[in-house]
Amino acid sequence: MERMYARFIDGVASIMGDDVQFTNVAEDMSGVDWEAGTGTWMLHFTCNGKPYTFAAKMDNDWFDISIIGFMNGVLGEQGTKQRLWVTGDGMQECILFYNDKKWAKEYERLMGYELECLLP
Does residue 99 register a pLDDT over 80? yes
Per-residue pLDDT band at 25 (split at 50, 70, 90): very high
Long-range contacts at 21-25 (CB < 8 A, ≥ 24 apart): 21/47, 21/48, 22/46, 22/47, 24/51
Q: In the Cβ-directed half-sphere of 5, how many Cα atoms lie within 13 Å? A: 28
**pTM (two decimals):** 0.92
A 10 A CB-CB count for 11 gives 11
Rounded CA-CA distance 2/92 in Å is 19
Better pLDDT: 92 or 103? 103
